[in-house]
Chains A and B, each alone.
Chain A
Amino acid sequence: MSARDRILAKLRANSPSTVGNPPDVAAWYATHRIAENGADKAKRFRHFIELAHAEVYAVSRGGWLQKLYEVLSAKQIGKLLIAPGTAHGARVAAELPGLDIACPAYDTAIESWKPALFNDIPAAFTRARAAIAETGTLILWPDADEPRLMSLVPPLHIVLLDAASIHNTFYEAMQAEGWKDGLPTNALLISGPSKTADIQQTLAYGAHGPKELVVLLIGDEQ
């Protein structure tokens, strides 16, 4: 008998006879979380993610590239990792090199350039698929075009978010987007730059992931 069979046999021998009703998660959220309108959701998202030390800039659909350039200039960063297979990445790659920002592309497997990613890339630019107002959280589904390490390794992570894609709660996000029917290799919730309080409960940013998180929020009404 394998360990698997022994464990399952022990559990089965003593399983409760009644299982009980499934927990009603939907009812809890319906009675305990208000559904806000778009502007309020954006405001709440912004409030919480700023509390977690992220920078948020309201931008227009046509004007985010200008703000991206300003952010990089203000931080004196001349190199930005982009995802060339995405619309937003392609747009950056077309425009920013002319303004003296180098835009290396994440277009080969990590094995061929891991040290360079860790040591030579000061910033990366990705899109967020959606967000959560209740906790000030970005939702990213990295994929073949926009790989996982873009939002983790470079010290500055800049994210493009459409305010129309902000949900009230995590629960609402997964229900509305049908997550249970198919999750990607890696789905991520990101709620600020990396941090730790492991030394004497003193909060320090830039633990292992990005030291700074910047959100370009399209359609934020402010």
Chain B
Amino acid sequence: MNAPQTPHTLHFMPSAGFRARAKDVVDNPFLRQSFRGAMDFLMSKRAAQFPDAEELESLRTLGESIRQYNLARLPDLLERLEARLTANGIQVHWAETPDEANEIILGICRRHEAKLMVKGKSMVSEEIELNHAAEAAGIGALESDMGEYIVQLADEKPSHIIMPAIHKTKEQIAKLFAENVPGVDYTDNVDALIQIGRRVLREKFQEADIGLSGVNFAVAETGTLCLVENEGNGRMCTTAPPVHIAITGIEKIVEKLEHVPPLLSLLTRSATGQNISTYFNMISSPRKPGEKDGPSEVHLVLLDNGRSQAYADEQLRKTLQCIRCGACMNHCPVYTRIGGHAYGTTYPGPIGKIISPHMLGLEATKGLVTASSLCGACGEVCPVKIPIPELLIRLREEAFSAPPRANPAMRGQGAGYSGLISAVWRGWAAVYRSPSLYRVATWMGSRLRGLVPSRQGAWTSVRVPLKPAPKRLRDMLKERG
């Protein structure tokens, strides 16, 4: 039996419609099962990698201190990285916005009269919607990570930052391949499906004019771009085409090469429960004279897109410690139930809720920061100790308190502010602060309980109405003497 396809074709737009999309997934037993199963699998794999609680804790502390140390020196390190990469022959570009980043990348493509760009997995390229921009410019952009290839064929977006096609069953993928890949018959054998993808994409690796990749760590002291992957498509994209363009957020820098091993270990163990990924690819220059392969041009695009806003505030800066392992979503009870598409943002789950407001503004993301039970699982598993629950509370304040708020300004501060709701809470606080007001209010409540409406909006859609008790606790105690 085939599971129904995901109901929406998704283009990343503000999170309006978040509730409706979340409800669609909650009502879909196939998707619920896909996500539940996948998250249980990833959680148990991670747990098996960290049998020693003391080791985990001390390694997380080290990871946190490495990220914080490097963020504290970020502007200097960016300059040092640029100088070092340039000396190595890698061209560095800076982009404040997604449009600027796309323009830089497409400009390089045009200069090379590129027809086809093969892409290794890069969430930053999703963030800037590079595929759409390339398509509009008449340049083919083909995803080559198996999961990304599958979601691109389905005209969808990744539902998980590490496992993009986690929402799809093998039967759906089999159907997708049979319908979209020429000369392929239906098979739901996973090995056969992977070999189909391999065959198709190997042709493209040979043809492509441009290879695009993300970056996991950029090392300032050596001018090195580090990439983590299992499939080999990242190495293909960075080695086979004549030009390699890497794109990364400005936060992914470490000063020293020795900062890499602890972060790499935390990353792969937290993400997929592997002690290391199959490949760790460290690129420090274009092809040198005499070398027989590798791109003759290597570019790095450094993207801000709201990161400097998070950077401006000591608490919010911790958002930028993230190494994109996805452990927070794997352990999130909300993500597990609604999946990655419901969020409507490039980065779903807990990390998505705290980074997206800086990229898209709070107007578009105010609903996301409330989509948390604040259970704290995300903060507990975060390999670099980002206090995600604290940041969610902070962002709720930023989104729902009356504007204007104190420095620093966040885009869309107070976007969720409502005078009525605010007045209700102020009244509530006044009543609870004053014993006499409280006595009057509860007396009134117990006498006027008949006037409480039986329909109370979202509350009564799944619960019985709230009604004050006929007798106050105070009255009952008095009766007992």
* Residues of B194-232 whose CB lies within 8 A of A: 194-195, 197-198, 201-202, 205-206, 221-222, 224, 230-232
A63 interfacial contact with B, CB 8 Å: no
Which of B190, B232, B280 counts the most A-chain CB atoms under 10 A from its CB?
A: B232
Shortest CB–CB separation between residue A83 and chain B, in angstroms?
Answer: 10
Taken residue by residue from 86 to 129, chain A's Cβ proximity to chain B (1 for < 8 Å, 0 otherwise) reads as 00000000000000000000111111001100100000000000
Q: How far is the CA of A148 from the CA of B283 in the complex (A)?
A: 11
Q: Which of B16-24, B57-65, B122-130, B365-373 contacts A (4 or more CB under 8 A)?
A: B57-65
Q: Which residues of B contact A22 (CB under 8 A)?
A: 69
Shortest CB–CB separation between residue A21 and chain B, in angstroms?
Answer: 8
* Majority-rule SS of A interface residues: loop
A147 interfacial contact with B, CB 8 Å: yes
Count A-B pairs with CB separation below 8 Å: 254
Query: Could you tell me if A186 and B257 are in contact, using CB atoms closer than 8 angstroms?
Result: no
Taken residue by residue from 276 to 309, chain B's Cβ proximity to chain A (1 for < 8 Å, 0 otherwise) reads as 1111111111111011111000000010100010
Taken residue by residue from 131 to 155, chain A's Cβ proximity to chain B (1 for < 8 Å, 0 otherwise) reads as 0001111000001100111001100
Query: Could you tell me if B276 and A196 are in contact, using CB atoms closer than 8 angstroms?
Result: no
Query: Could you tell me if B408 and A14 are in contact, using CB atoms closer than 8 angstroms?
Result: yes
Q: How far is the CA of A49 from the CA of B38 in the complex (A)?
A: 25
Q: Which of B94, B164, B261 contacts A4 (CB 8 A)?
A: B94
How many chain B residues touch A (Cβ–Cβ < 8 Å)?
A: 97
Which of A143, A198, A201 counts the most B-chain CB atoms under 10 A from its CB?
A: A198
Q: How far is the CA of A186 from the CA of B292 in the complex (A)?
A: 13
Query: Could you tell me if A152 and B232 are in contact, using CB atoms closer than 8 angstroms?
Result: yes
Query: Could you tell me if B292 and A144 are in contact, using CB atoms closer than 8 angstroms?
Result: yes
**Which residue of chain A has the shortest Cβ distance to B293 in the bound complex?**
A110
- Nearest 3 CB-CB pairings of A with B: A209-B232, A198-B147, A207-B231
Chain B residues at the A interface, C-beta cutoff of 8 Å:
37-38, 41-42, 55, 58-59, 62, 65-66, 68-69, 72-75, 78-79, 94-96, 100, 144-147, 150, 163-166, 168-170, 173, 190-191, 193-195, 197-198, 201-202, 205-206, 221-222, 224, 230-233, 235-236, 239-240, 242, 250, 256-262, 264-265, 272, 275-288, 290-294, 302, 304, 308, 311-314, 317, 408
Q: A3-B100, A179-B222 given; name 13 further pairs at CB < 8 Å.
A: A2-B94, A8-B75, A14-B311, A114-B240, A152-B239, A185-B284, A187-B282, A188-B279, A194-B232, A198-B231, A199-B168, A202-B190, A204-B191
